[in-house]
Structure 1
Amino acid sequence: MFDSRQIKTFHEVVRSGSYSAAARALGYTQPAVSQQMKALERDVGTPLFIRVGRGIRLTEAGLTLARHSGTILESVDAARRQIDSLTRLRSGRVRLCAFPSAAATLIPEAMARLGTDHPGVRLELLEGEPPESLRLLTRGECDITLAFSYPGLAVEIPDEVEEIRLLEDRVTILLPTGHPLARRRAVQLGDLAGERWIAGCPRCRAHFLHVCAEAGFTPDISFATDDNLVVQSLVAAGVGIAMMPTLVLSFLCHRKITGRLVEPHAFRRISAYVLRDHQRIPAVGLVLDELRRVAANHVGC
């Protein structure tokens, strides 16, 4: 309803007492001030000033607007300052949803860099696994989602969502340290056909079954759990062996187990997902850039 420039001019007319004085204070011509006040009166639908001799006087509507004009201008200025702060990355809030192993590795590094270079930008962390974490994104409950997918078992990406690939996380075989194959640098999956297995989360389990089928066998799964520490403890106890992404082993590794790369080459893809239009939000773009830098440090880990 209100044009902030007209409100500023109105506020100066009230303060200075005339159109001519307001024009001098603002650097306008008097006709320009008069035109702005007429336009403002059209917008509000009623006169704001009446002529009294050679001067002007506020109408009741003018008095009402005068009581609020200072507050309106202060609010507009405050909004501009806050928007400027967001644009210049002096402030901002980004809600990031990530699966546990990314939250334990990639996110802390990104947050540390943000805290040093842009201390006013706040990162709020939520935990979630795909595909639910992507639903949080499309429902507007987070700004960025970190999720993983496996070749042949890709996550379904909604049309309004952009995928930003970060890294390929190689899959390893977890063996007890005394296992005969633990001395090898890499392990052929087919050589493990007769082993008992500990399976992980549903998506990881689906990929595990897929690669075993490609290797020509159906694994004997003796136990399944979503907890990575439990998987490792079971392997250490000799209950079975397991398949686990390398990223997990970078922060969590039982002393009685060892990880060996699996052949043929197996990996999961880790990506950031964001609504297409949200990439233009400065704080969101900044967090995406930090995630790219951090992910580059983990390539080949």
Structure 2
Amino acid sequence: MFDSRHVKTFHEVVRTGSYSAAARALGYTQPAVTQQMKALERDVGSALFVRVGRGMRLTEAGESFARHARGILDSMAAAQEQMDALARLKTGRVRLCAFPSAGATLVPETLARLDAAHPGIRVDLLEDEPPASLRRLARGECDISLAFTYPGLHEHVPEELVEIPLLEDQLTVLLPARHPLARRRAVRLHDLAGERWIAGCPRCRANLLHESAEAGFVPDVAFTTDDNLAVQGLVAEGLGVAMIPALVLTFLRHPAVTGRPLQPLTRRRIFAYVLREHLRIPATAAVLEQLRAVAANKSGC
């Protein structure tokens, strides 16, 4: 590898035609320029200049290196400019992996706030449910992963991942609007023991089974889908009821369904996960900052 200072000095010697002129242009002493050129010749492995009378000329190796020196300096300047821009949050790219309900609620507002504060940062969106999303983060396929967990779910989080709490999301029951229990302000879970159920992703299904067991029954799971629109359609047709987070109710659009809080009160916890060393990356830290702000606004949904 070549020392960038030596390359810059070499370029100035070639431009001005002498060590002394290069020293004046760079603010160095002539011996300092001489020493730098000797060091560069050691790195190159060949003489770059030969003296001709009182002057000097480039050797064949010097002429070859001169053709590359300008390109080397331009590339280094461009790299420095890009690093400065990253440090000042003018640019950057972050890969964010989110589960569907977060992708429909937390993520859009986060990206809008990020664009207003740091328009040069770009975010690539990926979608996956936990724990697959955490495995993708550990493999380096994303920079931030949004995931959730339930009180009865015990899982191991790899040590290299930092867990950042965002919010707690109350569980609700999605009912047909004409359902008798839809008139209640809240619904007790054991009152739904005789219903057919629509289960979600494996983690959500496991929680449904856990909560139902706590309430003293085994749910009749008739359908399984993690598509929130499909869940709404199935519930609207009276084909079952569903346990959903309150966050999903914020984008509930079907007129024939309604959501009611469940009793006893249960909340899922939503976290952002990031590799520990990525916390020092300015663009990643900026996305996390906006995620925290949006989550704080949505707490209590």
Q: Secondary structure at the match of 1:174?
A: strand
Which AA in structure 2 matches 1:33?
A: V
Stretches of 4+ aligned residues off by more than 4 angstroms: none
Deviation of 1:51 after TM superposition, in Å, equals 2.0
Is 1:45 aligned to residue 68 of structure 2?
Answer: no
Which AA in structure 1 matches 2:55?
A: G
Which piece of structure 1 moves more, 44-53 or 204-213? 44-53
Partner of 1:240 in structure 2?
240
Partner of 2:201 in structure 1?
201
Deviation of 1:118 after TM superposition, in Å, equals 1.4
Is 1:293 aligned to residue 297 of structure 2?
Answer: no
Report the Cα distance in structure 2 between the residues aligned to 1:121 and 1:23, rounded to whole angstroms. Answer: 41
State whether residues 131 and 155 of structure 1, in contact with CA within 8 Å, keep that contact through their aligned partners in structure 2: no
Is 1:70 aligned to residue 73 of structure 2?
Answer: no
Is 1:15 aligned to residue 15 of structure 2?
Answer: yes
Q: Secondary structure at the match of 2:168?
A: strand
Cα RMSD for the two superposed structures: 1.4
Deviation of 1:93 after TM superposition, in Å, equals 0.8
Deviation of 1:168 after TM superposition, in Å, equals 0.9
Deviation of 1:194 after TM superposition, in Å, equals 2.4
CA displacement, residues 147-173 of structure 1 (integer Å, 9 cap, x when unaligned): 111122244322211111111111101
Partner of 1:217 in structure 2?
217
Report the Cα distance in structure 1 between the residues aligned to 2:230 and 2:72, rounded to whole angstroms. Answer: 59
Is 1:115 aligned to residue 115 of structure 2?
Answer: yes
Report the Cα distance in structure 2 between the residues aligned to 1:135 and 1:221, rounded to whole angstroms. Answer: 28
Q: Secondary structure at the match of 1:164?
A: strand
State whether residues 162 and 276 of structure 1, in contact with CA within 8 Å, keep that contact through their aligned partners in structure 2: yes
Stretches of structure 1 lacking an aligned partner (at least 5 in a row): none
Partner of 1:56 in structure 2?
56
Deviation of 1:254 after TM superposition, in Å, equals 2.0
Q: Secondary structure at the match of 1:6?
A: helix
TM-score if structure 2 supplies the norm length? 0.96
Is 1:272 aligned to residue 272 of structure 2?
Answer: yes
Deviation of 1:282 after TM superposition, in Å, equals 0.8
Report the Cα distance in structure 2 between the residues aligned to 1:156 and 1:130, rounded to whole angstroms. Answer: 12
Deviation of 1:233 after TM superposition, in Å, equals 2.0
Partner of 2:153 in structure 1?
153
Report the Cα distance in structure 1 between the residues aligned to 2:80 and 2:213, rounded to whole angstroms. Answer: 60
Which piece of structure 1 moves more, 120-129 or 224-233? 224-233
CA displacement, residues 9-47 of structure 1 (integer Å, 9 cap, x when unaligned): 010011111111101000011111111111111111221
Which piece of structure 1 moves more, 184-193 or 104-113? 184-193
Deviation of 1:7 after TM superposition, in Å, equals 0.4
State whether residues 130 and 155 of structure 1, in contact with CA within 8 Å, keep that contact through their aligned partners in structure 2: no
Is 1:83 aligned to residue 83 of structure 2?
Answer: yes
Deviation of 1:230 after TM superposition, in Å, equals 2.0
Q: Taking structure 1 as reference, are residues 199 and 131 closer, same or farther at Cα in structure 2, changes over 3 Å only?
A: same
Partner of 2:262 in structure 1?
262
Deviation of 1:291 after TM superposition, in Å, equals 0.7
Partner of 1:165 in structure 2?
165
CA displacement, residues 24-77 of structure 1 (integer Å, 9 cap, x when unaligned): 000011111111111111111221112222222211111111111111101100
State whether residues 129 and 201 of structure 2, in contact with CA within 8 Å, keep that contact through their aligned partners in structure 1: no
TM-score if structure 1 supplies the norm length? 0.96
State whether residues 198 and 241 of structure 1, in contact with CA within 8 Å, keep that contact through their aligned partners in structure 2: yes
Report the Cα distance in structure 2 between the residues aligned to 1:197 and 1:70, rounded to whole angstroms. Answer: 69
Partner of 2:134 in structure 1?
134
**Residues paired across the two proteins, number:** 301
Which AA in structure 2 matches 1:83?
A: M
Report the Cα distance in structure 2 between the residues aligned to 1:253 and 1:167, rounded to whole angstroms. Answer: 23
Which AA in structure 2 matches 1:250?
A: T
Report the Cα distance in structure 1 between the residues aligned to 2:275 and 2:245, rounded to whole angstroms. Answer: 27
Deviation of 1:125 after TM superposition, in Å, equals 0.6
Deviation of 1:262 after TM superposition, in Å, equals 1.0
Report the Cα distance in structure 2 between the residues aligned to 1:46 and 1:224, rounded to whole angstroms. Answer: 72
Stretches of structure 2 lacking an aligned partner (at least 5 in a row): none
Which AA in structure 2 matches 1:259?
A: G
Partner of 2:229 in structure 1?
229
Report the Cα distance in structure 2 between the residues aligned to 1:10 and 1:152, rounded to whole angstroms. Answer: 67
